[in-house]
Structure 1
């Protein structure tokens, strides 16, 4: 499916069990449609608990373009994901109905129009009761996604994995780029400013004022060096304490990973997290109330070995698993 023609049906009182992915041990990994994790399309199910939606948009980048191809690269990399997640001890695609909603086709020539289109597409999916796993696209798309999610859940806590702050005010006089979504979101009142965190930031910035401004917006910072020195478990506990029981939106810019683990991105920075550290931190947040998430800035043209999209597909799988466990009890009586 393309564009905003997203089919969302009302959740009936009694529904059939989730339609699972194509069994990967009975099919060729490299054959057939490349939906995320081989899950069914949205139009093949009665209702989706979790909708995987692509946003192939990168007109907000300030360095290397190409993230418009990220969503489909992640889908291709997800072909080898298997139905049981041993790290979280759950069959995520069997506990809740996960479906691939296709792409929201946003205007690549008009950024404001694109954001309106993305927001409308997210609204439509959320109105049917789904939580969203969004595959970008550049980080500009986080703002319209957050607008839609906050309209449903109220101001949300944000956990932002990124090499960069993404709270700058403008670039060449423009206030909407991939480096500004979280400043705009705070200004619009759609974030819970008592529960905002960056994880994995590093590298040079324009000046110390950038850090001061970021703190005034309400963000706490866990740098990539903090993760290395303090360890994953301590970082998880700090993040959980800050997030509490608030509705949580997780946004992962794949450049949070070191270029050794994610070369295919628009603005790489040395000294990042390992893919193992990212996955373990995400898994450690399984008790948080995750209402939606995104993974952005995967630019496959700069990674001929698909390392980046593989890492992104596994991060998305862990996020989907968390949402699946949280949604299952109300629908199926699952234990999670």
Structure 2
């Protein structure tokens, strides 16, 4: 196709050697992990999908994977809260970015689907750094090819179940409508948490409920721990395969302003962590953290939060040891 490669460098993360600024020609890796070209031999892999061609409001999420990697330099090997020791338990590396086509969203979706088929064929669990939420659709196409219809824990300010937006059926507001149409989801094992904001009708989530999704609007989350909710979600998900998709805009923009479609009165980072930790014990077959937009992330806190949430996802994967 002639499209240049967008994979990360094969060198180690520069911070681990100089610790100064990272402003050099060497690309960062997630959590200073080793880089390798493929998912062969890995139990889990961090992978970037640097697109924002599916966004409807503010762009910039194509820069999300790199900024998450940069901010992840602060991550250490153990989870002090849960005593998880992922790097003692499973083989993990950063396998760089999917070689997307920033001029053609449909071709990008094809490229993502093919890349994830290869990742999943190795038995590796992908931990994805977005990129806008469009990417969940082709990823779930590949996931469902391997596992059949999957359960979904979807954390977001928006349901992302629109049918057509400005004449387009593929974009960051439509992925889960497409997934339902193609039978990629086990609709009785889908929960959407944190939904809020203004809408185009009085009940923006009627379609989700009609499919059998459990919809947890943000008002149900205010001023409370979400640990009890996640106990119910674990029962709902059962033993079947589950995919976790976390849009950073689920968090209140006071905590995570660097995103394309912010909505006030959102979840706290504490609640975000509770949701992810509440997925421990599920048969997770893939996770993503999407919609980090560095141009609106003036302090780096949004990407830093995203990096930590991705580490929390790693810590709840099957086979991870806890002290």
**Same fold (TM > 0.5):** yes
Q: Determine the structure 1 residue equivalent to 2:19.
A: 28
3-state SS, counterpart of residue 51 of structure 1 = strand
Q: Determine the structure 2 residue equivalent to 1:327.
A: 319
Aligned residue among 205, 228, 232 for 2:226: 232
Q: Determine the structure 2 residue equivalent to 1:331.
A: none
How far apart, CA to CA, are the structure 2 residues paired with 1:4 and 1:153?
28
Q: Determine the structure 2 residue equivalent to 1:262.
A: 256
Report if the CA contact (8 A) 2:37-2:96 is conserved: no
1:145-178 deviation digits (Å, cap 9, x = unpaired): 0011111111100011100010011111211110
Q: Determine the structure 2 residue equivalent to 1:106.
A: 100
- The offset of 1:211, in angstroms, is 2.1
Report if the CA contact (8 A) 1:4-1:117 is conserved: no
Q: Determine the structure 2 residue equivalent to 1:156.
A: 150
Pairwise CA RMSD: 2.3
Report if the CA contact (8 A) 1:67-1:297 is conserved: yes
Report if the CA contact (8 A) 1:30-1:79 is conserved: no
Q: Determine the structure 2 residue equivalent to 1:175.
A: 169
3-state SS, counterpart of residue 216 of structure 1 = helix
Q: TM-score, normalized by length of structure 1?
A: 0.87
Structure with more of its chain in helix, by fraction: 1
**Residues 295-310 of structure 1 aligned to structure 2 (within 5 Å):** 295-310=289-304
How far apart, CA to CA, are the structure 2 residues paired with 1:125 and 1:168?
29
Q: Determine the structure 2 residue equivalent to 1:83.
A: 77
Task: List runs of 5+ in structure 1 lacking aligned partners.
Answer: 7-20, 329-333
3-state SS, counterpart of residue 134 of structure 2 = helix
Report if the CA contact (8 A) 2:155-2:194 is conserved: yes
* Structure 1: 4+ residue segments shifted above 6 A: 24-27
How far apart, CA to CA, are the structure 2 residues paired with 1:5 and 1:262?
26
- The offset of 1:297, in angstroms, is 0.4
For residues 51 and 233 of structure 1, do their structure 2 counterparts lie closer, same or farther at Cα, with a shift above 3 Å needed? same
How far apart, CA to CA, are the structure 2 residues paired with 1:160 and 1:46?
28
How far apart, CA to CA, are the structure 2 residues paired with 1:33 and 1:172?
36
Report if the CA contact (8 A) 2:85-2:322 is conserved: no
For residues 209 and 304 of structure 1, do their structure 2 counterparts lie closer, same or farther at Cα, with a shift above 3 Å needed? closer
- The offset of 1:44, in angstroms, is 9.3
Q: How many residues align?
A: 314
1:103-158 deviation digits (Å, cap 9, x = unpaired): 00211121111100010011111111110001010000000000111111111000
- The offset of 1:3, in angstroms, is 4.3
**Residues 15-164 of structure 1 aligned to structure 2 (within 5 Å):** 28=19, 30=21, 33-43=27-37, 47-164=41-158
Pair 1:191 & 2:182 matched: no
Task: List runs of 5+ in structure 2 lacking aligned partners.
Answer: none
How far apart, CA to CA, are the structure 2 residues paired with 1:56 and 1:85?
27
Q: Determine the structure 2 residue equivalent to 1:217.
A: 211
How far apart, CA to CA, are the structure 2 residues paired with 1:82 and 1:120?
32
How far apart, CA to CA, are the structure 2 residues paired with 1:45 and 1:194?
31
1:65-123 deviation digits (Å, cap 9, x = unpaired): 00000001110111010001122212212211111010002111211111000100111
